[in-house]
Structures are given as C-alpha cells and as structure tokens.
Amino acid sequence: MNTHSISRRHFAHLLGVGAAAAIIRPRFTVAAHEAMKNAHGVCNRYPDEANDLLIDKIAKMNNVNREQIVLGDGSSEILKLCAETFTGATEGKLVAADPTFESILEYSKACGGDVVKVPLTSNYAHDLERMGAAAQKGLIYICNPNNPTASITPKNDLRDFIAKTPPETMILMDEAYFHYADSSDYESVIPLVKDHPNLIVARTFSKIYGMAGLRCGYCVAQPDTIKRMHGFQMFDSVNVMALVAASASLDDVDQVNNGRKMSNDARTFTLTELDKLGYKSIPSQANFIMFDCKKPVVPIIKAMKDKNVAVGRLFPAYPNHMRLTIGKQSEMEAFVNAFRQVMAA
Ligand SMILES: Cc1ncc(COP(=O)(O)O)c(C=O)c1O
C-alpha cells in the first residue's frame, strides 16, 4: 500500500526511507537533471569551478558582490553557521519566535548559548518589539514566511525593526519560503543588507527548486559577516551535483512560476475542503498550511498515520494545530478523505 507522505520531518523514520522521498515538491528542472548528468565527468574533482559559478549567479541575481555570499549544504548549514558564529557563551543568546523552525535553537544550545523563545503575536507575526527587547548581542532569528504557521511578518514592521536593532545584535532572516509569498505586506530584506552590517538573509534550493535531497542553500550578508562565518565552515561543503543543479535551476525561468502555481492550486483545494468541514487555517503564504483541529493534534497525527497519511509534527506552542505540507492534488485528496474519516471516528 502506498504511504501518502504530507510531511517529512520525524515521520520518515516511522514510515521508512521511501516516505521522505515520496513527498511531492516542485519537480526539479529538466535543465538541472541535464546539468547533473553532464557533471558525472567532474565528480573526481573538487567543486571549485561549480562553486564559483553558482556564487556569481546568486550575487548577480541579488545585486550584491560575490564576497557577500556563503553557499551551504542546504540552508540548514547556513543556520548552523550563524548559530556557531553569532551565539554562545561569549557571543550572546539566540532569540527566536515560538513556534518557528526549530533547528537553529538546537544548534545554538549545542554552542552553549541561551535560547529565548518569544510567542508569535495574535496575528501570527513575529513579536518584533519583544524579540528586540529580549536580545543583547547574539542573534535574532526571524523566519519569514514562518514555518510552521506559514504566516508573514509585515514588511514595514521589519524595516523599522532592522533599522533600530543595535549593530552588535545580528539578525538572521530565513527566507526559505520567499517564492511562495505573494502578499503586498511581504518583501525580501536582501536589498537592506547593503545598509545593515548585522543583517544576514538565508535562502534555499530545497523548496521551489525541488532540490531538498541534493542540499544547497546560501546567505547574503556584508563581506565582514561572511568572513566571520567562513571561519566555522567546512571546506567544499556543497557537492558538485548540487552546485550544477542549483545553477541550472536559476536559469530555468519557468521553475518558480510553475512551482508556485502547482502549490497554490493544491493549497486552494485543501483549504476549501477543510473550510467545508469547519476547520480554519492560518492565512498561508507558503507551500504548507497550519490549521486548528479544535482538539489535541497528537492523536489525530497518529490516526492519520494509521491511514498511511503522514502529516506534520506537533508544535507544542499550538497543541491543537496541524501543520500540513501541500503536495500533489491527488495527495491532498487522499489527505482530505483520511482526515474526514479520522475526525468523524
Ligand atoms: C524555515 C526553514 N528554514 C530552513 C530549512 C532548511 O532547509 P534546507 O536545509 O533544506 O535548505 C527549512 C526546512 O524545512 C525550513 O523550513
């Protein structure tokens, strides 16, 4: 029997290796596939050329210099580097939202740093005032759109916040879901990097470019910040296949629009069906949704798994909410059928 995997983290081990791979993300581009086939001949070499080429492309695309880019083995490596470089007993604490994408909290704890969690506002935005007040040197992590809520923090609030944060406090803006956000209240803060030495913006090829298994991400920051991060980074951490696939993906002009459309169509279907069943979602600006199940989500997650549908994990700040990655239309239909049965039981 097929397992419909609508989430991957922490459930892959329950469902077997195939489950993680079964999640439908935007298909990764034909151009990326071709680039990887062509790169077989250079797998015996260190990846400097492919590395330089990708850095040049990313720098050009973001209107910055190549000294302002660090590539990572997924944006996870960028998050880890930021925790290592800017948090810890001497550098200071990490301030993050609750709930948010929690990996950086773990990296920071491993560096011996204190971690302060600040609840999201009632609109599911980052509570910038409280986050700023809680910070002292160290690093403020802002995930926009936020995982797991798929909500955004308004652009004007972010601009003010970045302008008034003291330069000795670093800000890491995680824009993993940037391509899915279409609200007029949303913007990338990459253009603000030139005026703010304490701002770092992380991006990934795992989402809209469908490269989660290949592992490639990057960040944009000022050259001095990048130099500090390099000190903690492994040499050649991004492999040549990921580098050539990422370069080719950037050249594929249709990839972003196609990925966004595929996700939006399936998301609209899912939200409509959930609404008919009486379940309201937090307004989503990402390729996943979070909605209120009106009762504890843990038994529902388990019951869904018994029906071979893996959904997102528990986020303790919202014990009644389910996080659901948007997959293919057929997968979302399978989810709706299973969910209807589970909630009626
Ligand atoms: C907000 C956010 N940031 C970063 C990551 C890490 O992504 P990757 O390491 O695949 O680039 C994820 C993955 O789910 C995420 O949701």
User: Could you tell me the distance, in angstroms and rounded to a whole number, from the CA of residue 276 to the centre of ligand 1?
Assistant: 31
Task: Give tens-digit pLDDT for 116-130.
Answer: 999 999 999 999 999
CA-to-CA distance for 247 and 51, rounded, in angstroms?
9
Find out whether 171 and 132 touch, Cβ atoms under 8 Å: no
54: exposed, middle or buried (C-beta count within 10 Å: 0-12, 13-18, 19+)? buried
User: Could you tell me the distance, in angstroms and rounded to a whole number, from the CA of residue 100 to the centre of ligand 1?
Assistant: 11
Find out whether 18 and 3 touch, Cβ atoms under 8 Å: yes
Percentage, residues of the chain above pLDDT 90: 88
Mean pLDDT of 13-34: 53
- Nearest Cα residue to atom 12 of ligand 1: 176
Checking if the pLDDT of 27 tops 80, the result is no
Indicate whether residue 212 lines ligand 1 (CB < 6 A).
yes
Checking if the pLDDT of 16 tops 90, the result is no
User: Could you tell me the distance, in angstroms and rounded to a whole number, from the CA of residue 272 to the centre of ligand 1?
Assistant: 27
What does the block give as tokens for 107?
Answer: 């990296």
Q: Which atom of ligand 1 is nearest to the CA of 77?
A: 9
Q: Helices 240-251 & 48-61, crossing angle to 10 degrees? A: 30
CA-to-CA distance for 100 and 177, rounded, in angstroms?
13
> Residue 280 phi/psi, 5° resolution?
-100, 140
Fold classification of 4-27+255-344 (topology level) = Aspartate Aminotransferase, domain 1 (3.90.1150)
- Strand partners of residue 199: 171
What does the block give as tokens for 309?
Answer: 């549908």
Please report where in the chains the tokens 């990839």 appear, as a residue: 255
Task: Give tens-digit pLDDT for 220-276.
Answer: 999 999 999 999 999 999 999 999 999 999 999 888 998 899 999 999 999 999 999
Instruction: Give the model's pLDDT for residue 248.
Output: 96
Checking if the pLDDT of 216 tops 90, the result is yes
Mean pLDDT of 321-335: 95
Checking if the pLDDT of 21 tops 60, the result is no
Instruction: Give the model's pLDDT for residue 26.
Output: 53
Q: Which of 8, 126, 204 to mutate to test the pocket of ligand 1 (most atoms within 8 A of CB)?
A: 204
Q: Which of 6-10, 103-107, 215-219 has the lowest mean pLDDT?
A: 6-10
Q: Which atom of ligand 1 is nearest to the CA of 177?
A: 1
User: Could you tell me the distance, in angstroms and rounded to a whole number, from the CA of residue 75 to the centre of ligand 1?
Assistant: 6
Domain ranges of the chain: 4-27+255-344, 30-251
Percentage, residues of the chain above pLDDT 70: 92
Instruction: Give the model's pLDDT for residue 202.
Output: 98
3-state secondary structure of 164: helix
Number of neighbours of residue 3 by Cβ within 10 angstroms: 18
User: Could you tell me the distance, in angstroms and rounded to a whole number, from the CA of residue 74 to the centre of ligand 1?
Assistant: 7
Q: Which of 7, 75, 175, 214 to mutate to test the pocket of ligand 1 (most atoms within 8 A of CB)?
A: 75
Q: Which of 147, 287, 315 to mutate to test the pocket of ligand 1 (most atoms within 8 A of CB)?
A: 147
CA-to-CA distance for 272 and 322, rounded, in angstroms?
16
Task: Give tens-digit pLDDT for 67-90.
Answer: 999 999 999 999 999 999 999 999
User: Could you tell me the distance, in angstroms and rounded to a whole number, from the CA of residue 233 to the centre of ligand 1?
Assistant: 18
Sheet harboring 139-143: ordered strands across?
Answer: 69-72, 217-220, 199-204, 170-174, 139-143, 94-98, 115-119
Indicate whether residue 204 lines ligand 1 (CB < 6 A).
yes
State how far the alpha carbon of 329 is from the alpha carbons of 282, 294, 332, in Å.
20, 25, 5
CA-to-CA distance for 29 and 15, rounded, in angstroms?
27
Q: What is the average pLDDT score of the chain? A: 92
Q: pLDDT-based confidence at 30, cuts 50/70/90?
A: confident
DSSP 88: B
CA-to-CA distance for 138 and 154, rounded, in angstroms?
23
Task: Give tens-digit pLDDT for 126-153.
Answer: 999 999 999 999 999 999 999 999 999 9
* 229 Cα distance to chain centroid: 20
Find out whether 207 and 287 touch, Cβ atoms under 8 Å: yes
Task: Give tens-digit pLDDT for 288-305.
Answer: 999 999 999 999 999 999
Q: Which atom of ligand 1 is nearest to the CA of 73?
A: 9
* 23 Cα distance to chain centroid: 15
pTM of the model: 0.92
Q: Are strands 288-292 and 217-220 parallel, antiparallel or unpaired?
A: unpaired
CA-to-CA distance for 311 and 288, rounded, in angstroms?
11
Fold classification of 30-251 (topology level) = Aspartate Aminotransferase; domain 2 (3.40.640)
Task: Give tens-digit pLDDT for 38-48.
Answer: 999 999 999 99
